Amino acid sequence: MGEIAFYQDKFVGIDEKVVPIQERGHQFGDGIYEVVRVYGGVPFLLDEHLLRMEKSADALEMKLPYTTEKIKEIIHEALNRSNYTDADIYFQVTRGISARQHHYPEVPTVFSLTVRPAKAIDETKRQEGIGVLLVEDVRWLNCYIKSLNLLPNVMAKQKAMAGGYYEAIFQRDGIVTEGSSSNLFVVKDGQLFTHPATNRILHGITRAKVLELAAKLDIPVQEQEFDINFLHQGDEAFITSTSAEVLPIREIGELELPRTRPITDRLAEAFKDLYKVKN
């Protein structure tokens, strides 16, 4: 049937006007979201995404409108209605519909969802790598919450793309944190480095799986802060996200990294094997 949408207890047309003007997600960005990749008709790592949504909701003192089991039912029904085997499922929860006020209203939270065809990454980018641009991290200090408030991320991504780069990489006081829509890894002397899972970064689902894979492949991992100089001196670097999976970095600004990426390639292949096995 094609693209599917769900809003406040019912399926609706993908272009139907359903969001009230006094929706707090619309007025304040007062909500949370997740994106799940579907491979071969199976939502990949769905339980992990739902657990992170619960943690984000708790952090914002927001009650989910449904149980996670009910959300799973809605997701699977939406996927069945779409007939897509490879898709991106986006779902979010907002604090609800209320006359505009800054403090929390006592109204029901609202769940919405879309199912669309998966956005495939150009295979040339996977083989040759991407360019990234360093930008200042001006986001709030609770980046671990997957909030709808993404304006700094949007502006950073736009700056990178306007300069001909694929992704923006944040740095805060010289410490490199993550990408505008991804997590960042650096390989140095056979070891894998990434920023620790603090409030300064999103605790990525793909990031966590890559760390598990590194352990299985006996690749040493250091979850620690590192600076711009360390990033520039890396032997390899890559980003991870639900849509990008494991994507190598070819250049950081005007600095080119080595074209051989043995550890990145191993992890990328192991990650593909992970979702192929799941299917």
What is residue 198's predicted lDDT score, i.e. its pLDDT?
98
Q: Please tell me the total count of domains within the chain.
A: 2
| Residues 35, 79 share a domain | yes
Residues 130, 252: contact at Cβ < 8 Å?
A: no
| Residues 172, 47 share a domain | no
- Alpha carbons 204 and 241: distance in angstroms, whole number: 7
What is residue 260's predicted lDDT score, i.e. its pLDDT?
94
Tell me the whole-structure pTM to 2 decimals.
0.95
Q: Structure tokens of 239?
A: 């980003």
What is residue 278's predicted lDDT score, i.e. its pLDDT?
53
117, 135, 161 - which closes a domain:
117
| Residues 128, 81 share a domain | no
| Residues 230, 131 share a domain | yes
Per-residue pLDDT of 133-188, as tens digits, reads: 999 999 999 999 999 999 999 999 999 999 999 999 999 999 999 999 999 999 99
Q: Structure tokens of 170?
A: 């944040």
What is residue 120's predicted lDDT score, i.e. its pLDDT?
84
| Residues 147, 112 share a domain | no
What is residue 277's predicted lDDT score, i.e. its pLDDT?
58
CATH number of 96's domain: 3.30.470.10
Residues of the chain with pLDDT under 70: 277-279
| Residues 255, 131 share a domain | yes
159 assigned to active site? no
63, 87, 117 - which closes a domain:
117
| Residues 103, 188 share a domain | no
| Residues 130, 263 share a domain | yes
| Residues 160, 105 share a domain | no
Residues 40, 279: contact at Cβ < 8 Å?
A: yes
With a CB cutoff of 8 Å and minimum separation 6, the contacts of 5 are 11, 12, 13, 14, 16, 18, 112, 113, 114, 115
81: containing domain: 4-117
| Residues 91, 25 share a domain | yes
Of the candidates 70, 119, 146, 157, the residue annotated as catalytic is 146
102, 117, 132 - which closes a domain:
117
| Residues 153, 92 share a domain | no
CATH number of 145's domain: 3.20.10.10
| Residues 186, 201 share a domain | yes
Residues 75, 36: contact at Cβ < 8 Å?
A: yes
